[in-house]
Amino acid sequence: MTETLIIGAGHNGLVCAAYLAKAGHKVTVLEAASHVGGAAATHEFAPGFKVSTGAHLLYLLDEGIRKELALESHGLKMARTGLSTVSLEEGGNFVRINGKTIDGPGAIAADQAAMAEYHRLMHKFAGVIARLHNRVPMRLGTTDTGDLKALAGMGWLIRRLGKADMREFLRIAGINVFDVLQEYFESEVLKGALSLDGVLGTFLGTRSNNSVFCALHRLSNGGRYDLPAGGMGSVSEAIAAAALKNGAEIRTSSPVRKILVDFDKISGVELESGEIIESNCVISNADPKSTFNSLLGAQHLEAGFANRVRNIRANGCVAKLHLALNEAPAFNGVPAEMTGERLVIAPSLQYVEHAFNHAKYKEYSAEPVMEITVPSLHDPSLAPAGKHVLSAVVQWAPHNLKEGWSEAKVAFAGRVMDVLAKHDPDIRAKTLYTELLTPADMESNMRMTGGHWHHAELAMDQFLMMRPVYGAGQYAAPLDGLWLCGAGSHPGGGVMGSAGRNAAMAIIDSGKG
Ligand SMILES: Cc1cc2nc3c(=O)[nH]c(=O)nc-3n(C[C@H](O)[C@H](O)[C@H](O)COP(=O)(O)OP(=O)(O)OC[C@H]3O[C@@H](n4cnc5c(N)ncnc54)[C@H](O)[C@@H]3O)c2cc1C
């Protein structure tokens, strides 16, 4: 058995390494950056102020992986679990969503019962999707008993919802969150917040199809928002520790320039330093477009497959704002003890849909939506005593901006601060330092095509055996010895680890590597 190489120490690459090393593979992970984690990392952005670089809320990490890799014994700790969502409103009429209950001055009594039913249904439907996460997707068009059983199993998952809920599942799965939320609720500030679940991290508006599917994906591991102590980097570091304990080697500052091919088989990689490492098993945690187009080269692919890769949608549209603050923010009408919850600026369905409209024309949102955390309220290690960090996912900031991000970045940061100031008028005075990461920054710093949260848009046509494209849906590329293990593969992005584990299982089952 030659050495198994993994390109990228994102959390999925590390999960894959940990499982393969446990199964006896000699594994080396090659990471371009000087640290592990990819989009699940922590960095110091101003002296003494640390923040989660990309992902800032943990809600999808697979429980099985957490237990099997004993992540708590490798240092994983939560600073706070079970954050509620507070939907901010300029006049202070916020609504707080806590599981199936709602309260706050903007809450409408009639919405309470609707919320209980919406919560029941969405969590039940999300359970169907969750059952598909931890398995290698079935192949289409084979007569293999395993594939046929898996296909039938998928139908059964839907059938066992029961007649009424199955009908509702089939009705709403293909429509959009805008229409569904209009049917259920009256309060605009509640609908705005719930609609975010369907669009955050995607190039979708609330009226786009696939937005219900994305909302279900977000809820699929229970929908509980946690804040890891030390930021999201501590999740990746715990996984790295598990991989190292199992015998894997991790080499940071080791960017891979090329995947090497000998006739029609993988023969290793060449690093940017010129070093060549031979291997007949190379697994890529890089996104699928980078893997096939840049690292491998389309000349090694059959034309139809190369064309499908070219058509993968991966136009990232999320920016990340980090503020070093002199004191904690205070949002209009929101009691101080709620400032540490998951705060969203999405005051109505129309607001969220308008915020998206600009992205269609390669413009940034004039009034973006935001998901805000103030993690230092729960984790003093992130900021000097008495000071705070604010971390905001800001949407929509399309990667393919008309004028390019080097022109627009400062102006967009100003817009974002203007929106924040509508909710905390003193936010500028409290700010000691600002960092804004655009999708272009994420593309270059994290080597993600388009700076895309999911490496490839999360949508029904890019899910299961169609993710990232038909022909590579079971983690194996159509070239002997090349595999995928990142967010671009099933079941998609978010800090969940399932793509990494599924890839490891597929490789172990294949007897290769
Ligand atoms: C702004 C933002 C906010 C987000 N917020 C959340 C959130 O709150 N919660 C959540 O669950 N998810 C969130 N996500 C999504 C989540 O962070 C990602 O889906 C997930 O981290 C992807 O993990 P991965 O391991 O598949 O890939 P990545 O994290 O992208 O890791 C890939 C790794 O491969 C390395 N690499 C690439 N090319 C090479 C090469 N040639 N040589 C060597 N190394 C290479 C990269 O440097 C990187 O370390 C967010 C994403 C973004 C961008």
For residue 39, the ligand 1 atom closest to its alpha carbon is 29
Which tens digits make up the pLDDT trace of 255-267?
999 999 999 899 9
pLDDT computed for residue 345 by the predictor = 98
On whether residue 352 sits in a domain, the answer given is no
**C-alpha 10 – ligand 1 centre gap (Å):** 6
**C-alpha 129 – ligand 1 centre gap (Å):** 22
Which tens digits make up the pLDDT trace of 428-460?
999 999 999 999 999 999 999 999 999 999 998
Tell me the average pLDDT across 197-212.
96
**C-alpha 366 – ligand 1 centre gap (Å):** 27
**C-alpha 505 – ligand 1 centre gap (Å):** 21
**C-alpha 453 – ligand 1 centre gap (Å):** 7
- Between CA 227 and CA 402 the distance in angstroms is 35
CB under 6 Å to ligand 1: residues?
A: 7-13, 30-33, 38-40, 54-57, 60, 201, 255-256, 285-286, 290, 295, 318, 320, 393, 442, 446-448, 453-454, 486-487, 493-495
Tell me the average pLDDT across 218-229.
95
Q: Is 154 or 311 the better-scoring residue by pLDDT? A: 311
**C-alpha 325 – ligand 1 centre gap (Å):** 26
Determine which residue's CA is closest to atom 38 belonging to ligand 1: 286
Query: Is the pLDDT reported for residue 133 higher than 80?
Result: yes
Tell me the average pLDDT across 97-125.
97
pLDDT computed for residue 147 by the predictor = 87
Query: Is the pLDDT reported for residue 84 higher than 90?
Result: yes
- Check residue 309 and report its DSSP letter: H
Query: Is the pLDDT reported for residue 187 higher than 70?
Result: yes
Tell me the average pLDDT across 293-311.
96
Share of the chain above pLDDT 70, in %: 100
On whether residue 26 sits in a domain, the answer given is yes
On whether residue 486 sits in a domain, the answer given is yes
Determine which residue's CA is closest to atom 7 belonging to ligand 1: 55
Query: Is the pLDDT reported for residue 141 higher than 90?
Result: no
Amino acid 353 reads E
User: If pLDDT is split at 50, 70 and 90, which confidence band does 130 have?
Assistant: very high
pLDDT computed for residue 512 by the predictor = 77
Give just the sign of the alpha carbon dihedral 333, 337, 339, 345: negative
On whether residue 467 sits in a domain, the answer given is yes
Helix (H) / strand (E) containing 261: strand 256-262
For residue 371, the ligand 1 atom closest to its alpha carbon is 8
For residue 492, the ligand 1 atom closest to its alpha carbon is 19
On whether residue 359 sits in a domain, the answer given is no
On whether residue 86 sits in a domain, the answer given is no
Domain extent at residue 300: 4-40+61-76+230-313+460-510
Give, for ligand 1, the residue of 31, 275, 458 to mutate: max count of ligand atoms closer than 8 Å to Cβ: 31
- Residue (of 500, 507, 509) closest to 482 by Cα position: 507
User: If pLDDT is split at 50, 70 and 90, which confidence band does 164 have?
Assistant: very high
pLDDT, averaged across the chain = 96
CATH number at 66 reads: 3.50.50.60
The residues that bridge with 4 in the sheet, in sequence order, are 27, 281
**C-alpha 183 – ligand 1 centre gap (Å):** 35
Q: How many domains does the chain have?
A: 1
On whether residue 324 sits in a domain, the answer given is no
Which tens digits make up the pLDDT trace of 387-419?
999 999 999 999 999 999 999 999 999 999 999
User: If pLDDT is split at 50, 70 and 90, which confidence band does 115 have?
Assistant: very high
User: If pLDDT is split at 50, 70 and 90, which confidence band does 511 have?
Assistant: confident
- Between CA 285 and CA 40 the distance in angstroms is 13
Question: For residue 268, what are the contacts with CB-CB under 8 A and spacing of at least 6?
Answer: 5, 260, 276, 277, 278, 279, 282
For residue 499, the ligand 1 atom closest to its alpha carbon is 26
For residue 442, the ligand 1 atom closest to its alpha carbon is 53
Query: Is the pLDDT reported for residue 1 higher than 70?
Result: no
Tell me if 347 sits within 8 A of 419, measured CB to CB.
Answer: no
For residue 271, the ligand 1 atom closest to its alpha carbon is 42
pLDDT computed for residue 295 by the predictor = 98
**C-alpha 290 – ligand 1 centre gap (Å):** 13
pLDDT computed for residue 513 by the predictor = 67
Which tens digits make up the pLDDT trace of 11-50?
999 999 999 999 999 999 999 999 999 999 999 999 999 9
On whether residue 289 sits in a domain, the answer given is yes
